[in-house]
Amino acid sequence: MFRKIIVAVDLIHLERGRRILERAKALADSGGEIVLVNVVEDVPGYLAIDLPGDVIEKNLKNALADLEAMAAGAELKITSEVRTGPPARNILAAASEHEADLIIVASHRPDISNYFLGSTADRVVRHAHVSVLVDR
C-alpha cells in the first residue's frame, strides 16, 4: 500500500512504538521502506548548564541504539534516525526529506494541557502533506 512510511517513536512509550511499527510493516509495499524517527526535545540552556557535557550525546546514541534494536530482524528495509528539536516539526521534516507517503504516530488520551498546547499528533495531522495514521 505505501512505499515509504515514517514511524514516529516516543522511546518513553516503547510498547506503543512497537505496536505502530507492526502496523507499518503490515501497510508497507513489498520492497517498501520504514523510517523510525525519534525526536529528542532541546534542553533549555538554563538546565543544560548543569548537565555533564556528554549526557545529551549519550542519550542521542542510546536512542538510536533503541530504534535499531526495534528494527532488528525485520524482513523489509528499516532505517532509524534521531533528531533534536520540536517533535512535530521534525516528524514533518523527516516525511518531507524522505518523500514519505504515510506518517504513523501514536497518541494518548488527551489531558488538560493538550487543550492549551496541543499534542504532537495533533500538530502532525494538521500540517502534514501526506496521510497520517494516528494509533490510539
- What does the pLDDT look like over 66-124, one tens digit per residue? 999 999 988 899 999 999 999 999 999 999 999 999 999 998 766 555 554 458 999 99
pLDDT at residue number 101: 97
Q: Is the pTM of this model over 0.85?
A: yes
Superfamily of domain 2-135: HUPs (3.40.50.620)
In which order are the strands placed within the sheet that holds 77-84? 77-84, 28-40, 2-8, 102-106, 131-135
The pLDDT confidence band at residue 48, using thresholds 50, 70 and 90, is: low
Return the domain boundaries, the chain: 2-135
What whole-number distance in Å separates Cα of residue 21 and Cα of residue 35? Answer: 10
Q: Give pLDDT, residue 56.
A: 77
Specify the 3-state DSSP secondary structure of 78.
Answer: strand
